Amino acid sequence: MSNHGPIDFVGDRFSTRGVCSRSQRRPVGALWCAIGLSVILLSALGGCGGGNDAPAPATATSETLVATESSLVAQGKDIFRQDTFGNEIFWTDTLRMHEVIELSVSPALALSVGLKVDADALPAAVRQALLDGTADLQSPATTLALIEANAVVGVRGTVETVNGVKRLTRMGITCALCHSAVDNALGQGIGRRLDGWANRDLNPGRIIALSPALSGADKAIYNSWGVGKFDPRHNVDGLNNPVVIPPAYGLAGVHRITLTGDGDRIAYWNRYVSVVEMGGQGHFEDARLNLNLTRGSADLVSSKLDALEAYQLSLTAPTPPAGSFDPVAAARGRALFAGKAQCMTCHSGAQFTDANERLHPRFDSIAEADIGGESPSYASRSATKQYRTAPLKGVWQHAPYFHDGSSPTLSHVVGRYNQHLSLQLTQQEISDLSEYLKSL
Ligand code: HEC
Ligand code: HEC
């Protein structure tokens, strides 16, 4: 089972002081709590490797070590893309998303809320129909065909023929839902998977709000989140201020994970999100968050964490496309970054962050400082109550910027720093610094 230390599994229970005690008073909290009380277990996790491989023997040659490492990464890739950790209990039994999808979610609607289609998984006939423009994108039946082919990124479903009719009987979600994009090779939202890229087209709140199990008040909260944003603490503290979905690449060497540096390794947050947010079967506890949560009586999370982490560590930030920045201006911007603009006092080292040495009080985030602070601050809801200096490799790729997505472009970011820190950069210097950021 777990190789992450002893975990006390006590069946389906929450701690008395954890999420339920506070959140059961609210309908949304009660809903999330209901998952923890459910005992149905699913084993329909086709193709999931799990993390049971024995470690490499001490006498292993470097070749076998490399092979073991890459098989761990391959397992992690499979888990990242395909594993639901048994969260069908939440998405099917509680939220009843399968009913909405089969009745009313056409591919056109699915694409409009940012869901992506994996072109490599498409059956030849569907692929051809998409290319010819003859696929019926208005029919939920086409969505079912895509789900049956396992071609909707981050969505796993079981399609069965019931009384001669295709029905979606179970569905759950995977990490790829929020942390993968596609290259749009076959059309907007349809192409090859780009794992680790934040799906900034996704509107998770709007998707959850489609559930027939939610009250109007809950739907209003979810619908308020907006494109590319999710509140991973809402179902714990009942507050509502969503953050941008960040990339899951470029994190090797960064030992403070999340926007607020809550964990010192990726596996910390992967356990949080798979159990607490996605509704998977397993255990998460963190006294700093007053959170102690066990869902289900089996642990479908712990054994997968090493592999999942290894895969994410293998995902490097994408390099900027040729011609996307002016190299001469970027070279001038680099000098400003280290000098006059003082960026390197925080964005230091190979990953452009001082995260391994320190975190920062909330007003060190310009997004908070120049508007006088959001209320409540996202940092105040986290385990550390601080912000991590954002790593900047691949920053060209994932606008909008800052935890709240309040800067649409990199020149907007630099303009805000210039004003708030009174850097006295000229227009030319702001532009040069932006070109440098685009080159990272
Ligand atoms: C519904 C959308 C959603 C899903 C599904 C999701 N995440 Fe996230 N993820 C987020 C958001 C939003 C954050 C930002 C939270 C924060 O850092 O405070 C985040 C943060 C992260 C981070 C931190 C990145 C950093 O810069 O430190 C990692 C790593 C991560 N997620 C991996 C995963 C993995 C692995 C899974 C599957 C177990 C997963 N996520 C599932 C939305 C999602
Ligand atoms: C006092 C420390 C500090 C200094 C100085 C600083 N930053 Fe930051 N930077 C941060 C923190 C903390 C964040 C994360 C804030 C948030 O998400 O709200 C951040 C975020 C960013 C982001 C957004 C990245 C993303 O993933 O959305 C960019 C771009 C950025 N900084 C560029 C710069 C530039 C350019 C300078 C110099 C003009 C600079 N920073 C100076 C601490 C600093």
What torsion do the CA atoms of 136, 139, 143, 145 make, to the nearest 10 degrees? -70
Nearest residue CA, atom 1 of ligand 2?
364
Nearest residue CA, atom 2 of ligand 1?
178
Give this prediction's pTM: 0.88
Nearest residue CA, atom 10 of ligand 1?
245
Nearest residue CA, atom 41 of ligand 1?
175
Q: Does 411 contact ligand 2 (Cβ within 6 A)?
A: no
Angle separating helix axes 305-314 and 62-82, nearest 10 degrees: 100
Mutate to test the pocket of ligand 1, among 78, 80, 229, 269 (most ligand atoms within 8 A of CB): 269
Read off the tokens for 32: 């999330």
C-alpha 15 – ligand 1 centre gap (Å): 24
Q: Does 152 contact ligand 2 (Cβ within 6 A)?
A: no
* Atom of ligand 1 lying closest to residue 254 CA: 27
pLDDT at position 12 = 31
Asked if the peptide bond before residue 376 counts as cis, ω within 30 degrees of 0, the response is: yes
Nearest residue CA, atom 16 of ligand 2?
402
Contact (CB, 8 A) for 276 and 293: yes
Q: Does 347 contact ligand 2 (Cβ within 6 A)?
A: yes
Write out residues with Cβ below 6 Å of ligand 1: 173, 175, 177-179, 204, 230, 232, 243, 245-246, 248, 251, 257-260, 266, 269-270, 273-274, 278, 308, 312
pLDDT at position 433 = 98
Where the chain has pLDDT below 70, the residues are 1-66
Q: Which residue has the tokens 């800052």?
A: 402
Rounded distance between C-alpha atoms, residue 391 and residue 372, angstroms: 24
Q: Does 341 contact ligand 2 (Cβ within 6 A)?
A: yes
Q: Does 409 contact ligand 2 (Cβ within 6 A)?
A: no
C-alpha 246 – ligand 1 centre gap (Å): 7
pLDDT at position 69 = 74
Read off the tokens for 215: 């009250």
* Atom of ligand 1 lying closest to residue 378 CA: 18
DSSP strand pairing (165-173 vs 190-191):
unpaired
**How many CA within 13 A on the CB side of residue 219?**
9
C-alpha 203 – ligand 2 centre gap (Å): 25
Domains and CATH numbers, the chain: 19-48+64-314 (no CATH), 327-438 (1.10.760.10)
Nearest residue CA, atom 42 of ligand 1?
245
pLDDT at position 132 = 87
Report phi then psi at 299, rounded to 5.
-110, 105
Nearest residue CA, atom 12 of ligand 1?
245
pLDDT at position 40 = 24
C-alpha 360 – ligand 2 centre gap (Å): 11
Q: Does 179 contact ligand 2 (Cβ within 6 A)?
A: no
Q: How far is CA 276 from CA 252, 257, 322, in A?
A: 24, 17, 40
* Atom of ligand 1 lying closest to residue 231 CA: 12
Q: Does 355 contact ligand 2 (Cβ within 6 A)?
A: no
Nearest residue CA, atom 25 of ligand 1?
258
Q: What is the CA radius of gyration of the chain?
A: 22
Asked if the peptide bond before residue 400 counts as cis, ω within 30 degrees of 0, the response is: yes
C-alpha 258 – ligand 2 centre gap (Å): 14
Rounded distance between C-alpha atoms, residue 297 and residue 281, angstroms: 7
Rounded distance between C-alpha atoms, residue 301 and residue 275, angstroms: 8
